[in-house]
Amino acid sequence: MTAQSTVPQTTPPTSQASARGAAGRVLRRLAESPEAGVVLACVVVFIVIAINAPTYKSVGNLQVMGRDLSQTGILAIGESLVILTGGIDLSVGALAGLAGILAAWFNVNQGIPAVPAILITLIICGAVGFWHGSMVTRLNVPPFVITLVTYTTAQGLSLAITSGTPINGISALFANVSTGYLWQIPIPALFFVGVALIAWFVLERTYIGRQVYAVGGNKEAARLAGIPIRRRIVGTYVASALLAGLVGMVEIGRMNVADPSVGPGWELIAIAAAVVGGVSLFGGEGRIVGVAAGAILLEFIANGLLALHVSPYYQQVVQGAVLGIAILLDRVRASYFGRGRR
């Protein structure tokens, strides 16, 4: 008989260590990502408010939030495109209001059918965006100044065209689109999803998107690399203006009237959603996923305060505090991981 020697089987300690290392790398990557914190905040806010306000998670209220989100989210996406290049667009709120007035005026006062009125309005909005981009790139006018001029002008035109009186009797097409549903999902919410997907694809999967980030990160380096800086900057302003026009026409459909007082002030919410979502005001940093999450978070908070019957006098205070905390945490995160990389 031959003796068989047995070799003790032991688990290599390196496997457990590698598993812990992989988990640590995943957690670190999530911590480095600004989108992760915003998404987590959305989940926490929704759960906390839903527990304290049972009607908050009802289908009807979710549909209302979906419609409201289309306004904030689409404007925030357009605003973030401009911010990524190192600019700012203060005109999106007033331009959205003017777009609604123009579409209604063409339709009611000039007798133009709804579809051509929408197309004409979008062409005008695109021309305004082209003007913004041209002034910024060719005459070096600060974006803050030129878009502030448009903000004031658009607000004045809305009042001048209507004489301060809302325009009634607009085509039913506006209301059918703005208040309609597709599989119980509000059509405006689907607009937001579609715009977000297109913007994500352009920024994340095309050379144009990479060039936009490069322009915002370092214009001189982008110029030396042969990137058409002027075209990229102008393109973002045109996209922002077109999205503002879309929002304005969706809103007149919701209200079934074109009110000249609607629009101004929305630009602040759009900028807030972009910043909360991780878009750097210095340009070159931020993703559409974060912008969408930032818009959703602000909508959760705004609607939740109403569901909790918080006094309107304190709602803006709460929203401002949340925005300040989000910005502070984002800067702390960026500073901490920036030192780690250096």
What the block records as the tokens of 250 is 């969706």
- The single-letter DSSP state of residue 7 is P
The whole-angstrom separation of Cα 266 and Cα 270 is 6
Residue 9's region, left for phi above 0, alpha for psi from -120 to 50, else beta, is beta
173 pLDDT more than 80: yes
Comparing C-alpha atoms, which of 103, 128, 112, 108 is closest to residue 250? 103
Contacting residues for 303 by C-beta, under 8 A, at least 6 apart:
56, 61, 64, 65, 68
Domain boundaries, the chain: 36-330
Q: Is the pLDDT of residue 128 over 90?
A: yes
> Both tokens of residue 12?
């290599």
| CA atoms of 1 and 42, how far apart (whole Å) | 71
Tokens 């605003």 label which residue?
79
Multiple choice CATH, 36-330, 1.10.3470.10, 3.90.650.10, 3.50.50.60, 2.60.40.10: 1.10.3470.10
Over residues 10-42, the pLDDT tens digits come to: 545 566 666 666 666 655 665 566 677 788 888
Instruction: Indicate the SS3 state at residue 87.
Output: coil
- Supply the pLDDT for residue 339: 45
More confident residue, 317 or 91: 91
- Pairwise CA distance, residues 65 & 189, whole Å: 9
Report the predicted TM-score, pTM, of the whole model to 2 decimal places.
Answer: 0.86
Long-range contacts of 61-65 (CB under 8 A, 24+ apart): 61/303, 61/307, 63/181, 63/184, 63/185, 63/186, 64/303, 65/299, 65/300, 65/303
R_g of the chain computed on alpha carbons: 24
Q: Name which residue leads in pLDDT, 55 or 118.
A: 118
Residue 278 has what pLDDT?
84
